[in-house]
Amino acid sequence: MNASPEHQRILLDVADLDRRIAQAERARTAPSQAARITELVAIRQEQLRELTALTGARDDARTELTRLESDVHLVEQRRARDAARLAAATNAKEAQALEHELESLARRQSDLEDIELAVMARAEDADAAVAAQQALLDITTAEGSALTAQAKADVAAAGELGEQLQRDRRAVTETLPEQLLAEYTRRAANSAGAALLTRGTCEGCRMLLPGTDLNDIRRAADDAVVSCPECGCILVRTEESGL
């Protein structure tokens, strides 16, 4: 196959555009933040589960504390009522019974208040644990939101860049012979498509060509379309080729 050296050099621009288009497409479909966002989603789910468990423990402690406060209040009311009855009692036997009951109620109130203090401490610890876990969740959520917003912006920018590069590619390829472009497209499916030959090295696969292959290329006509024996891309020859 033959094509003018000028058209072959244009293939280098097409190959560069294709490389940049591929980069833009990767940036659009797989933004750099994607892995961290996925990681944060998993972290946030685990933090939510932990927060749910801690909140449940806190609520249980608060419920128990409320019950104890009610029990203490009832005992206090009963003690006050019995104390009033004792003060008005005229029967010694009744007075003795009220005194025993008041002693029992005092012990009951003391026991309840001790339990109440322990549960109050547990509730305070549970409140602190919930607050600390919520703070962790807020940090994770904030990072995820920021990364998601940046990813959306990057995806939009990559999409716009890709569209512009496609327009540039269409403008460049309009100047190429149809057969040459088809040959480039066929090879680009498995290689760079076209690459510069620089001092005996294919810039597509970075391989230094053997002397026999270089001699064959050296003998080829200027308009001959030559290939890299390693990667199969079209080798574009210039004064930098070292031939």
**Closest to 169 in 3D by CA, of 37, 18, 4:** 18
CATH class for the region spanning 5-26+174-241: mainly alpha
- Residue ranges of the domains in the chain? 5-26+174-241, 29-160
**pLDDT tens string 44-82:** 999 999 999 999 999 999 999 999 999 999 999 999 998
Check if 5-26+174-241 and 29-160 are the same fold.
yes
Domain at 29-160, CATH class: mainly alpha
Mean pLDDT confidence for 90-109: 88
DSSP string for 93-157: HHHHHHHHHHHHHHHHHHHHHHHHHHHHHHHHHHHHHHHHHHHHHHHHHHHHHHHHHHHHHHHHH
pLDDT in tens, 160-213: 999 999 999 999 999 999 999 999 999 999 999 999 999 999 999 999 999 999
- Residues 6 or more apart whose Cβ sits within 8 Å of residue 165: 17, 20, 21, 24
Pairing of strands 201-202, 207-208: antiparallel
pLDDT, one tens digit per residue, over 148-163 is 999 999 999 999 999 9
Per-residue pLDDT band for 239 (boundaries 50, 70, 90) equals confident
User: Whole-model pTM?
Assistant: 0.72
pLDDT confidence of residue 195: 96
Q: What is the CA radius of gyration of the chain?
A: 42
Q: How many CA atoms lie within 13 A of 215 on its CB side?
A: 3
Q: What is the pLDDT of residue 241?
A: 82
pLDDT at 92: 82
How far is residue 190 CA from its own chain's centroid?
A: 32
**Mean pLDDT score of the chain:** 94
